């Protein structure tokens, strides 16, 4: 359980300036220390009732028939999360696999973000480059809301959106840019967590006027090793520092340009999970440091012509990570007989991309509709990594050092690139008030290249003439919403999805691994249906789905040049996932709100006839919020629970007991 340094249940903000004004429709209270007198012209959203309606995505485009969950800023403030994983753990259909204090991956409808099957977006743009570490990079203080699409999203977002996607919406300047320039807000908020003696802090300042607005923020997170019921989790500590700046310009009403820059750096460990198992004392893996630099320029405009709205953006992201690993060989007497200390510098990639979407409203005498027309593209330049190591051997009885071999810094892989361009169109038509139809299609083109330097002679013949490949993939989706009663909607959708193999997958190699540039995209088909009940004070949505996937990559033993002992990735895997997702809210009284989620998930690897790993069969959340009538404070209590898990893959996971975790 987290306890705030500043009474997070009431959402108060410690101000470092003489004001702490609006960051939303309502103003934040000003807290004067030490008297803690609250002044100002309004209340923070986190102190208000949650309301009876489930919010919809605002930043990313979605089909009206798609399942989506939005975690708003007020909920983030109420729950005091340490990182993005804590926020996503509340979403139905998502399971979390932690690797450390702030690191880990998510499983969205059965598949891991580590395997490029549930991508991450930031402000509507692809955030690609660190699939294992991408969820580490964002502190809760800089997030306005998190939007999650559950189910295939390749129609609008292309490759990798097999099971859905996560979009982080970062905080933006608030205030009227049309008036004279003035400072419109600022402050510092902090939180404390007891499990790792962790501290989070976020400071910001913003202003608007003269056609411009700006927001600058700085955030930090620090945590020791986590304390668990079994004791301390070694190597789960972390520390991070991030900062961002946004500058907006509104020349006339309805048109806005925005330039943003962001920098983040962290040092943290992996207590387990991907790349960190089995953990201390046998394996110690740390990102030291792990950094990302981001830049973005965007435009949003509203028009009276053919296009009602146009949204466009270009972005550049650069990653740099030093991965430090210690592997210990320990004998039965507990003596370390061999230690390998290695550092891998993962340089880049540099990813440059962009996206443009236009909205066309239309009507031809039978109802009304709209069409989205868009295109997106990116190019990823990934230099070969560099590495160095030191191997020490020790006496098995005395633990005395017997030898030490050092391998100097050297490049250990070729440079690779991947380029993608996609175009899409989505139509939504409401011929009568009771019915909305949705249909769309997309086409993607890919080009992937690999250099030949540093390729082992044993596999070089497989590269020559094959180190450049192109491919394409069409996708589509169709659905309908039928409003059978004023308060009841039926929803149905069928959609295809795909995942283009990455440059590292197409050209993966070692002395015994053969690349496969002819790999085809992984493909999926999902059918889902649901019902939505809604009134002014409550909303309940139930969705059932079934997804079938083919062409999944799987490592297979092959012969090469007449010799055995080689492996190669091939498109031979098949899987099926089915489940039910429920979420709802009820504003029972002016001060009491009830809310909850429920998810059932079952997945099978149809190639190996085994369950898909790391799927929680039943899990959910129930909660109640009390908001004081004068909005002076808010108290929320929740219980996160999961049923016992017995369908496992023994080589990868253990059975787990049922649990329930109360939080206030």
pLDDT at 79: 83
Q: How confident is the model over 561-578, as a mean pLDDT? A: 91
Task: For residues 640 and 359, give the distance between their C-alpha atoms in angstroms, rounded to a whole number.
Answer: 40
pLDDT at 278: 85
Domains and CATH numbers, the chain: 12-17+20-663 (2.40.170.20)
Residue 5 binned pLDDT confidence (cut-offs 50, 70, 90)? very low
**348 alpha carbon, distance to own chain's centre:** 19
pLDDT at 23: 36
Task: For residues 604 and 108, give the distance between their C-alpha atoms in angstroms, rounded to a whole number.
Answer: 15
Whether the pLDDT of residue 29 is over 80: the answer is no
pLDDT at 59: 86
**322 alpha carbon, distance to own chain's centre:** 22
Backbone phi, psi, residue 38, to 5°:
-100, 125
Identify which of 182, 163, 44, 154 has the alpha carbon closest to the alpha carbon of residue 114: 163
Strands (E), 486-537: 488-499, 513-514, 522-534
pLDDT at 254: 95
How many CB atoms are located within 10 Å of the residue 445 CB?
15
Task: For residues 247 and 257, give the distance between their C-alpha atoms in angstroms, rounded to a whole number.
Answer: 8
Q: How confident is the model over 263-283, as a mean pLDDT? A: 88
- Looking at 12-16, 345-349, 622-626, which range is the least confident one? 12-16
pLDDT at 2: 39
- Say whether 504 sits in a helix, a strand or coil: helix
**pLDDT tens for residues 208-247?**
999 999 999 999 999 999 888 888 899 999 999 999 999 9
Q: How confident is the model over 522-526, as a mean pLDDT? A: 97
Mention every residue, 6+ apart, whose C-beta is less than 8 A from residue 643: 616, 617, 618, 619, 658
Whether the pLDDT of residue 375 is over 90: the answer is yes
Cis omega (within 30 of 0) for bond into 349: yes
Whether the pLDDT of residue 11 is over 60: the answer is no
Average pLDDT, the chain: 90
Q: Provide the token pair at 44.
A: 């923070």
pLDDT at 623: 96
Task: For residues 589 and 222, give the distance between their C-alpha atoms in angstroms, rounded to a whole number.
Answer: 39
Q: CB pairs under 8 A, 24+ apart, for 564-568?
A: 565/512, 566/459, 566/512, 566/513, 566/514, 567/512, 567/513, 567/514, 568/513, 568/514, 568/515, 568/516
Planar angle of CA 258, 262, 263, nearest 5 degrees: 170
Whether the pLDDT of residue 1 is over 80: the answer is no
Task: For residues 290 and 249, give the distance between their C-alpha atoms in angstroms, rounded to a whole number.
Answer: 32
Task: For residues 544 and 107, give the distance between their C-alpha atoms in angstroms, rounded to a whole number.
Answer: 17
Backbone phi, psi, residue 466, to 5°:
-125, 15
Q: How confident is the model over 65-69, as a mean pLDDT? A: 93
The pTM for the full model equals 0.90
Residue 44 binned pLDDT confidence (cut-offs 50, 70, 90)? low
- Please name the residue ranges forming H helices in 418-551: 460-463, 503-506
Higher pLDDT, 544 or 191: 544
């Amino acid at each position: 359980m987290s306890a705030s340094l500043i009474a997070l249940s009431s959402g108060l903000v410690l101000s470092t300036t003489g004001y702490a004004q609006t960051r939303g429709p309502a103003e934040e209270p000003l807290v004067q220390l030490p008297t803690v007198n609250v002044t100002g012209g309004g209340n923070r959203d986190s102190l208000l009732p949650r309301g009876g309606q489930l919010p919809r995505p605002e930043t990313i485009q979605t089909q009206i028939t798609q399942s989506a969950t939005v975690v708003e800023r007020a909920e983030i403030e109420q729950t005091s999360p340490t990182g993005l994983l804590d926020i996503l753990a509340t979403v139905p259909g998502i399971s979390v696999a932690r690797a450390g204090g702030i690191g880990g991956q998510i499983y969205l409808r059965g598949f891991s973000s580590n395997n490029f099957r549930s991508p991450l977006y930031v402000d509507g743009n692809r955030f690609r480059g660190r699939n294992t570490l991408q969820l580490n990079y964002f502190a809760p203080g800089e997030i306005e809301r998190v939007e999650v699409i559950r189910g295939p999203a390749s129609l609008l977002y292309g490759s990798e959106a097999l099971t859905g996607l996560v979009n982080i919406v970062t905080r933006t300047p608030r205030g009227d840019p049309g008036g004279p320039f003035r400072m419109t807000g600022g402050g510092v908020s902090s939180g404390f967590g007891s499990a790792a003696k962790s501290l989070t802090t976020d400071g910001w300042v913003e202003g608007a006027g003269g056609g411009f607005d700006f927001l600058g923020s700085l955030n930090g997170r620090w945590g020791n090793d986590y304390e668990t019921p079994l004791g301390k989790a070694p190597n789960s500590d972390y520390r991070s520092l991030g900062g961002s700046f946004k500058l907006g310009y509104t020349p006339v009403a309805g048109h806005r340009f925005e330039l943003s820059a962001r920098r983040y750096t962290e040092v943290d460990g992996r207590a387990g999970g991907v790349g960190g198992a089995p953990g201390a004392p046998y394996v110690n893996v740390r990102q030291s440091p792990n950094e990302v630099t981001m830049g973005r320029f965007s435009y949003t405009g509203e028009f009276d012509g053919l296009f009602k709205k146009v949204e466009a953006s270009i972005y550049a992201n650069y990653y740099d990570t030093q991965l430090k690993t210690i592997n210990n060989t320990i004998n039965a007497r507990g003596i370390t007989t061999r230690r390998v200390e290695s550092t891998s510098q993962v340089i880049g990639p540099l990813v440059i991309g962009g996206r443009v979407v236009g909205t066309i409203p239309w009507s031809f005498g039978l109802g009304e509709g709209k069409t989205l027309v868009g295109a997106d593209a990116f190019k990823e330049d990934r230099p070969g990594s560099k590495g160095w190591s030191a191997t020490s051997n020790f006496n098995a009885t005395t633990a005395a050092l017997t030898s030490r071999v050092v391998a100097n810094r050297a490049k250990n892989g070729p440079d690779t690139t991947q380029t993608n361009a996609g175009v899409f169109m989505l139509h939504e038509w409401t011929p009568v008030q009771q019915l909305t139809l949705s249909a769309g299609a997309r086409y993607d083109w890919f080009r992937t290249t690999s250099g030949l330097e540093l390729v082992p002679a044993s596999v070089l013949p497989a590269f020559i003439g094959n180190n450049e490949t192109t491919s394409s993939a069409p996708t589509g989706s169709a659905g309908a919403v039928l409003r059978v009663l004023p308060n009841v909607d039926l929803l149905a959708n069928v959609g295809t999805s795909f995942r283009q193999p990455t440059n590292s997958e197409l050209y993966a190699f070692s002395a015994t691994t053969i690349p496969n540039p002819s790999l085809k995209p992984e493909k999926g088909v999902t059918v889902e249906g649901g019902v939505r009940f809604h009134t002014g004070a409550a909303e309940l949505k139930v969705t059932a789905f079934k997804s079938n996937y083919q062409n999944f990559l799987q490592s297979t033993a092959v012969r090469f040049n007449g010799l055995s002992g080689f492996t190669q990735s091939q498109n031979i895997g098949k899987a099926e996932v089915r489940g039910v997702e429920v979420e709802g809210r009820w504003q029972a009284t002016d001060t009491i709100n009830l809310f909850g989620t429920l998810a059932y998930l079952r997945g099978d690897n149809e190639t190996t006839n085994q369950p898909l790993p790391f799927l929680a069969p039943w899990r959910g959340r129930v909660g109640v919020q009390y908001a004081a009538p004068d909005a002076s404070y808010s108290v929320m209590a929740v219980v996160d629970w999961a049923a016992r898990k017995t369908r496992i893959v023994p080589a990868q996971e253990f059975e787990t007991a049922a649990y329930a975790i109360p939080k206030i």
